[in-house]
Amino acid sequence: MLGNRLEIISLVTRMFSQPCAYNFFRSSEAPPDSVWQSHVVEYADCKYDHGYLVFNRHDNCKEVRRRVLDVPNEDLCTLSPPDSDMLSAWTDEIPCWHASTHHGRFRPWALLRMPENTRAFRLSHLTLLASGVENAYLWDASQGRLVETISSIQSRHHRQTLDHIHYEGANDKYAFICDSNQLRMFERSGGARVYDLSPRNLPKEVWNVEEHPPFGSPVVKRQRL
């Protein structure tokens, strides 16, 4: 059981450590701030993956843009097309770009309308996981399609519910949601909770490393609290 637990912790650590935010609005190729002040929410949370840029808006929607180099024509997402605000902002941006390059340019692609107010979200392999208070939503960002809803993520387990959500992520089999007290893992294609981990599940031990260990002595000593 401990081996499986360590494998899950390692998986989640690697997943959360992958770079996902792209500082688009501070790029040297980006338009002046005045272009964005009325369109992008302050301190927007930006996610980037495989040529797609996703960020939150004032109205709880998630705006999806695609790298211009990947969309040479005027194609738009058909299932969740951009709204007039996105297209208007894009029109205002065009004169600000350097005509000699398409690098760092992202054009409107889709507008994902969340079924409820969501806070935390993450983009991984073009799957956008966005969590509300009670439910988590998995979107295909490239198609603008809501793929799955995981319900009752707040259900009480071991006398605990999820607090303020800090991190989340997903792969092709599971969705991971973390708050300050616990990690919960939900199975995709059904939404069953298959694993949870909190500090009360971990052994109460601390590891100390000697700063200058003498020759021949073990470097790491375990101390039980």
Is the pLDDT at 114 greater than 80? The verdict is: yes
CATH class of 2-205: mainly beta
Region for residue 31 given its phi and psi (left: phi exceeds 0; alpha: psi -120 to 50; beta: otherwise): beta
pLDDT (tens digit, 9 = 90+) per residue, 159-205? 777 777 888 999 999 999 988 778 889 999 889 999 888 777 666 66
Confidence band for 93, pLDDT divided at 50, 70 and 90: confident
Is the pLDDT at 130 greater than 60? The verdict is: yes
CA angle 6, 212, 222 (to 5 degrees): 35
DSSP string, 9-66: HHHHHHHHHS-----GGG-TTSPPHHHHTTTS-TT--EEEETTEEEEE-TTS-EEEEE
Residue extents of the structural domains in the chain: 2-205
Nearest to 107 by CA among 52, 25, 48, 144: 52
The set of long-range contacts for 27-30, using a CB threshold of 8 Å and a minimum separation of 24, is 27/104, 28/104, 29/97, 29/98, 29/101, 29/103, 29/104, 29/105, 30/104
